[in-house]
Structure 1
Amino acid sequence: MLIRAGYDMAFEADLATPMLAALSVHPSRNRDLRSMQRITTVPEVPLYDYMDGFGNICTRLTMPAGGITLSCSFTIEDAFIPDAVAPDAQAVPVSDLPDEIMVYLLGSRYCETDRLVDIAWPLFSRITPGWAQVQAIVAYTHQRIAFGYEHARPTKTAFDAWREQTGVCRDYAHLAIALCRCMNIPARYCTGYLGDMDLPAVVGDMDFSAWFEVFLAGGWYTFDARHNSPRAGRILMARGRDAADAALVTTFGLSKLSRFQVHTHEEARDRAFLLPARIWT
């Protein structure tokens, strides 16, 4: 399937304000791009990219006094296959985990394992470690939290979401991640596009989405506590320990988000702009 995706967002600020944006498609999906992916700004300002420690593409820029608009639209090819299901996947003992995976067992800014471990163990310790345990955590989180945009706030943590029982997709992800880590299962936060093309009806306004991945025998597997079912059409943008590592936009000064639009829809192949092969000599 060809998917057309992108965003248009505007910020306001009284003073020139440095910004950091993780709005590019993750490098693991670069080969799937079928059109150019380029962030444009109004007014035009210098941009440059670097790769952070989690493998995300980050863009640095400075918003001029008054504000700025960031926008991008691109076409990407996707197999449109639901998330893999591997019910026999077992947990990897902590002593056998690769060194680079250990960071995803630790507590982090939004995933306070120290506050949730005494909640997690009575709930999940009797379930076979691995896929079954993770699925139980996903189902619990799905039922524990009631979705609502009015419940979102940038300071909300996994423990807050557990206590208040409300949140948005990132809160579902944070709580499930924290509970997995409490059970010694490495988990990492993911953010990107997830349209409604695989659903029978449109679900709310289009937005960026958050989900998570866990490390079991066989590698990383995708889970989604908000939907509690495999989904198709994910377009990954960034990963990290939690939303602090994969924030879509960070401003280093006072600013206000004044416009926010995200689009994701199927694009007919005969209308897609496919990049031609080119040989440089």
Structure 2
Amino acid sequence: MFIRVGFEIIVECPVEVPLVLALLPHSSYPGRVIGEARLHADPAIALEMFTDGFGNRLTRAVAPVGRLKLWSDCIVENDGQPDVFNWDAGQHPIAELPTETLAFLTASRYCETDELVAQAWALFGDTPPGWARVQAICNWVHNHLTFGYHYGRPTKTAVDAMRERTGVCRDFAQLSVALCRAMNIPARYASGYLGDIGVPPSGPGDFCAWFEAFLEGRWYTFDARYNTPRIGRVLMVRGRDAADGAMITSFGRYDMKLFRVWCDQITEPLSDQAMLALLQTRPDAPALTLAP
């Protein structure tokens, strides 16, 4: 399966603003790429790419005074399979966990695990450890939170989401992460492209957040917002929480003027040359409505 993924973002800055951008497919993404999976800027500015400790491909830039357009457009190969489901995946005792997973057991900026331990054990202490426990957490978060773009804010934490019972996809993911960690299950935040492949159309494209839990020797994908296996995820960033994978980290004020994301399956068999030609056409993707 091939999926066209990309975005167009326009910001306006009253002064020069340093930026760190997390807008590219993750360094571990296994699929082939047709075209260039890189960031473009108009007007042209210096773009410095680097990879952080989580394998995220980040870009440093300084936005000039006035309007700046950031965009990317490419075609990626995907296995076309839904998220792996393994009901028999077991939970590791903490003493047997790989060392590299331990950082995903403790509290972080947006996931106040230490504040949720008592509630988590009251809610999920009777569930079987392993996959069933993570799925129970997903079911609970899915039913506890009401989704809405107007419920999102950059400072919202897992505890805030639990108390307010509302959120956007990152809140569903972060609350799930915090609850998993409270139950001694390593969990990490993830986000990227997720189009309407195999499901009814849901409106303008957007980046989507989900999470990964470490069970039976590997990381598995879970998604409390949709709470069902999905097809066509294209990972962009992962980390302890959204602070490690913010789409745009700015060191100064900017105004978002346009935000368009596309993640569309290419349903006809095309050669590489035909797909490259397709990338010369403008993607048909409406802009997500921005709050005033």
Scaled by the length of structure 2, the TM-score of the pair is 0.91
Structure 2 distance, partners of 1:244, 1:67, is: 26
Aligned to 1:150: 150
Match of 1:279 in 2: none
Q: Which runs of 5+ in 2 are unaligned?
A: 278-292
Take 1:129 and 1:205, find their aligned partners in 2: how far apart are those partners? 38
Which amino acid letter does the alignment assign opposite residue 276 of structure 2?
A: F
Q: Which runs of 5+ in 1 are unaligned?
A: 275-281
Pairing of 1:70-109 with structure 2 (within 5 A)? 70-109=70-109
Distance 1:26 1:254 in 2: 27
Q: What residue number does 1:48 align with? A: 48
SS at match of 1:160: helix
Secondary structure at the aligned position of 1:119 is classed as: helix
| 1:273 and 2:292 aligned | no
Query: Does the CA-based 8 Å contact 2:31-2:78 persist in structure 1?
Result: no
- CA deviations over 1:21-54 (Å, ceiling 9, x no partner): 1111111126421222221111100111111011
What SS is found at the alignment partner of 2:7?
strand
* Percentage of identical aligned residues: 47
Provide the residue aligned with 2:235 in structure 1.
236
Alpha-carbon distance in 1 for matches of 2:254, 2:30: 31
SS at match of 2:50: strand
Q: Give CA deviations for 1:199-251 in whole Å, capped at 9, x if unaligned.
A: 0x112321000000000113000000000110010000010000000111111
Residue 179 of structure 2 aligns to which amino acid in structure 1? L
Partner of 2:221: 222
Give the whole-Å Cα distance in 2 for the aligned partners of 1:104 and 1:38.
29
Q: Contact 1:2 / 1:269 at 8 angstroms: preserved in 2? A: no
Deviation at 1:183, TM superposition (A): 0.1
CA deviation digits over 1:160-211, x for unaligned, max 9? 1111111110000010000000000000000100000110x11232100000
Count of equivalent residues: 273
Q: What are the residue-to-residue correspondences of 1:1-281 with 2, within 5 Å?
A: 1-29=1-29, 31-199=31-199, 201-267=200-266, 268-270=268-270, 271-273=274-276
The letter for the 1-side match of 2:150 is E
Q: Is the CA contact 1:14–1:67 (under 8 Å) kept in the aligned structure 2?
A: no
1:96 Cα deviation (Å)?
Answer: 1.0
The answer as to whether partners of 1:27 and 1:57 remain within 8 angstroms in 2 is yes
Of the structure 1 ranges 81-90 and 250-259, higher mean CA displacement relative to structure 2 is found in 250-259
Aligned-partner Cα distance in 2 for 1:22–1:232: 22
Partner amino acid for 1:35?
G
**Contact 1:37/1:72, CA 8 A, preserved across alignment:** yes
For 2:161 and 2:107, locate their aligned partners in 1 and report how far apart those are by CA, in whole Å. 16
Query: Partner amino acid for 1:156?
Result: K
Q: Return structure 1 stretches of 4+ with deviation > 3 angstroms.
A: none
Paired residue secondary structure (1:36)? strand
AA in 2 matched with 1:273? L
Cα distance in 2 between the residues matched to 1:236 and 1:125: 31
Does the 8 Å CA contact 2:28/2:55 hold for their aligned counterparts? no
- 2:282 corresponding residue in structure 1: none
What code does the residue aligned with 1:39 have? L
User: Does structure 2 conserve the Cα–Cα contact (< 8 Å) formed by 1:198 and 1:233?
Assistant: no
Q: Residue 116 of structure 2 contacts residue 159 of structure 2 at CA under 8 Å; is this kept in 1?
A: yes
Between the aligned partners of 1:33 and 1:198, the Cα distance in structure 2 is 22
The letter for the 2-side match of 1:261 is R
Tell me, in whole angstroms, the C-alpha distance in 2 between the residues paired with 1:245 and 1:105.
15
Cα offset, 1:59, TM superposition: 0.5
